[in-house]
């Protein structure tokens, strides 16, 4: 009966092995450690025990070594055996010799078996968590897929192919992302935390790395190292700029990334919820790089303040709005891409001799208002007056009263003249 129960005990452990995907050698080690842990708790030490796991037979054997002592000198039955009991095992035993006999673990009682199961389950869970943390720590920056399991207000819970939990915070989702339970999501592993041995895997769809990995998946030349992504700037879900460089003169890096009729980039754009992606050629020439970063606008000249990392860009009036972009997105991305603060100005040659730059009104108009006007391409008085009042209010998002005050000040300047 004991043998049957013992076999059933090991069968239970085998079920753990199948469920937790732990390899054979690790499982044997866990079993041995679990048995030793229970024995040590019961007797204070497991040094005189040998635990042999037989995975092929589905059982285990436990042997205990004890020293033979005179019957009246027996003090610790776990470490010692009386001469009388030793002779029952083998007649030739004498005091001082070592006796090794097999022990039935089930003879330790029901509590020992329960402790064994709990210890085993705890060790398996610890190893599983350690393995999960190690595996995903090595995957930071890589694209993974997960199935939506639960949608919360601040994050989404995803499950990978093995049922491991991954979190996609709201802050790392593209603004137009919307998911239902059961849908499959692609994202990049952003970070992995392990507090109190409880690993948490965080994903991101807004990280520039996600865009970079998508290009690596779609463009073989990038994957093979023939084209390198040098810089990336993103406003997730809206627009992105990516600077690429080819180490082979025969390869057009921009053309390779876009693909014939945009075939390669279309898949990326769809994945990123129709994010508009500009691909430009990278160059070490900072002036040329800034000019390319501001495309589709064409600049006439540029001045640098390298100490403060600022660039003053001059353009023809019709190019200013292109340089700034919708909601200032183009100039914002160009600034992120180049690492320089970019200020846009109309070319001096195009300035009316009677016109006046808005900066000269700083005593009468607050700087934040001037900046708001500049953000829509108006850096001179006449460029502001050329736009209808309602249009100014709509494009700058300034209060009606504020716009009226500005117009009054500017009109007064020219009326005075």
- Give per-residue pLDDT as tens, 314-356: 888 778 888 988 888 999 999 999 999 999 887 755 556 677 8
Q: pTM score, two decimals?
A: 0.68
Helix orientation angle between 400-416 and 389-396, rounded to the nearest 10 degrees: 130
More confident residue, 12 or 335: 335
Closest to 11 measured CA to CA, from 60, 61, 62: 60
Return the exposure string of 315-329: e unless at least 16 CB atoms fall within 10 Å of the residue's CB, then b: beeebbbbbbbeeeb
Helix orientation angle between 208-218 and 263-271, rounded to the nearest 10 degrees: 140
Residue 167 three-state SS? strand
Return the exposure string of 352-373: e unless at least 16 CB atoms fall within 10 Å of the residue's CB, then b: eeeebbbeebeeebeeebbebb
- Per-domain residue ranges of the chain: 2-134, 146-205, 207-282, 283-349, 351-416
Pick the CATH number of 2-134 from 1.10.10, 3.30.70, 3.30.1480, 2.60.120: 3.30.1480
Element housing 36 (H / E) = helix 24-43
Look at the block and give the residue holding tokens 């970070």.
Answer: 191
Determine contact, residues 190/203, Cβ cutoff 8 Å: yes
Average pLDDT, integer, range 392-396 = 86
Closest to 290 measured CA to CA, from 337, 240, 241: 337
pLDDT at 168: 97
Which residues is 235 bridged to in the sheet?
239
Pick the CATH number of 207-282 from 3.30.300.20, 3.40.47.10, 1.10.275.10, 3.40.1180.10: 3.30.300.20
**What is the rounded CA–CA span in Å between residue 219 and residue 231?**
16
Q: Which fold has domain 283-349?
A: GMP Synthetase; Chain A, domain 3 (3.30.300)
Residue 255 three-state SS? helix
208: left (phi over 0), alpha (psi -120 to 50) or beta: alpha
**What is the rounded CA–CA span in Å between residue 210 and residue 189?**
9
Determine contact, residues 200/193, Cβ cutoff 8 Å: yes
**Given this chain, do its domains 283-349 and 351-416 carry the same CATH topology?**
no
- Computed over every residue of the chain, the mean pLDDT equals 87
Q: Among 14-28, 69-83, 219-233, which stretch is predicted with the lowest mean pLDDT?
A: 14-28
Q: Which fold has domain 146-205?
A: OB fold (Dihydrolipoamide Acetyltransferase, E2P) (2.40.50)
More confident residue, 248 or 206: 206
Average pLDDT, integer, range 94-101 = 90
pLDDT at 14: 57
Sign of the dihedral through C-alpha 212, 213, 219, 221: positive
Closest to 338 measured CA to CA, from 357, 368, 310: 310
pLDDT at residue 4 is higher than 60: no
Q: Which fold has domain 351-416?
A: DNA polymerase; domain 1 (1.10.150)
């Amino acid at each position: 009966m004991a043998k049957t129960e013992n076999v059933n005990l090991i069968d239970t452990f085998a079920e753990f092995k199948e469920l937790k995907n732990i390899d054979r050698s690790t499982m044997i080690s866990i079993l041995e450690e679990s048995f030793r842990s229970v024995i040590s708790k019961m007797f204070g030490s497991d040094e005189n025990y040998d635990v042999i796991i037989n995975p092929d037979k589905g059982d285990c054997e436990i042997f205990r070594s004890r020293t033979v002592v005179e019957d009246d000198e027996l003090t610790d039955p776990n470490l010692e055996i009386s001469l009388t009991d030793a002779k029952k095992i083998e007649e030739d035993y004498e005091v001082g010799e070592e006796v090794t006999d097999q022990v039935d673990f089930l003879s330790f009682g029901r509590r020992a078996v329960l402790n064994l199961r709990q210890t085993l389950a705890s060790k398996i869970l610890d190893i599983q968590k350690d393995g999960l943390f190690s595996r995903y720590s090595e995957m930071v920056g890589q694209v993974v897929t997960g199935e939506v399991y639960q949608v919360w207000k601040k994050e989404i819970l995803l499950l990978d192919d093995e049922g491991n939990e991954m979190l996609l915070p709201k802050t790392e989702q593209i603004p137009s992302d919307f998911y239902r339970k059961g849908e499959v999501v692609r994202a990049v592993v952003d970070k992995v935390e392990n507090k109190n041995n409880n690993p948490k895997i965080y994903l991101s769809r807004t990280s520039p790395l996600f865009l970079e990995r998508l290009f690596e998946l779609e463009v073989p030349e990038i994957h093979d190292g023939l084209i390198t992504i040098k810089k990336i700037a993103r406003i997730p879900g809206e627009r992105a700029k990516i600077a690429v460089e080819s180490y082979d003169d025969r390869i057009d890096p921009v053309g390779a990334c876009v693909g014939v009729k945009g075939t390669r980039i279309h898949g990326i754009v769809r994945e990123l919820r129709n994010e508009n992606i500009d691909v430009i050629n990278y160059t070490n020439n900072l002036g040329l790089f800034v000019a390319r970063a501001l495309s589709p606008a064409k600049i006439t000249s540029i001045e640098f303040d390298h100490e403060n990392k600022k660039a003053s860009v001059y353009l023809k009036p019709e190019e200013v709005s292109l340089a700034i972009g919708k909601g200032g997105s183009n100039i914002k991305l160009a600034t992120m891409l180049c690492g320089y603060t970019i200020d846009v100005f109309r070319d001096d040659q195009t300035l009316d001799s009677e016109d006046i730059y808005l900066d000269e009104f700083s005593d009468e108009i607050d700087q934040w208002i001037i900046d708001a006007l500049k953000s829509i391409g108006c850096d001179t008085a006449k460029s502001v007056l050329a736009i209808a009042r309602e249009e100014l209010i709509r494009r700058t998002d300034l209060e009606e009263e504020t716009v009226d005050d500005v117009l009054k000040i500017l009109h007064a300047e020219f009326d005075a003249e």
